[in-house]
Amino acid sequence: MDTVFRIGSTSQTTKARSALQAHSIPSKMVKTDGNASGGCTWGLRIDRRHYYEAADALTKAGIRYEVL
């Protein structure tokens, strides 16, 4: 099972990916569907087993996210 952390722009998402890599958490950069609140955004798909660790890493890196 996968989880997608919606980040926002590609730059922020790539930065987020680097933050996860630093914790050896594999992720894939994915485009998320557009929605009324913001349009297309980018996120990281990760294995759900890494959920808490990934959330913690992103928070510590100061990266805002939304879990889809």
Partner 1 sequence: MKSSDLLYFDNAATTYPKPPSVLKSIRHALEEAGGNPGRSGHRLSATAATEIYTCREEVAAFFDMPRSEGVVFTQNATYALNTAIFAFAREGGHILLSDMEHNAVFRPVYHLAEEGKISYEVYPTGKNTAEEVARRIRENTCLVIANHASNVCGRILPVAEIGAVCRGRGVPFLVDASQSAGHLPLSMERMGIDALCAPSHKGLYGIQGAGLLLFRDALQPTPLVYGGSGAFSTDPRMPTLLPERLEAGTLPTPAILALRAGLAEVKKRGVSAIAEKIARLEVQLYEGLGNMRGVRLVLPEERGNGVLSFEVEGRSPAALSDALDEVGVALRSGLHCAPLAHRTLGTEASGTLRLSLGFTNTERDCKRFLERLHQILSKNA
Residues engaged in binding partner 1 (CB under 8 A)? 8-12, 14-15, 17-18, 28-31, 34-42
Residue number with CB closer to partner 1 (54 or 63) = 63
- CA 68 to CA 65: how far, in whole Å? 9
Nearer to partner 1, 15 or 23 (CB): 15
Asked if residues 16 and 7 have their Cβ atoms less than 8 Å apart, the reply is yes
Minimal distance, residue 16 CB to partner 1, in Å:
11
Q: 45, 28 in Cβ contact below 8 A? A: yes
Nearer to partner 1, 1 or 40 (CB): 40
Contact 7, 19 (CB under 8 A): no
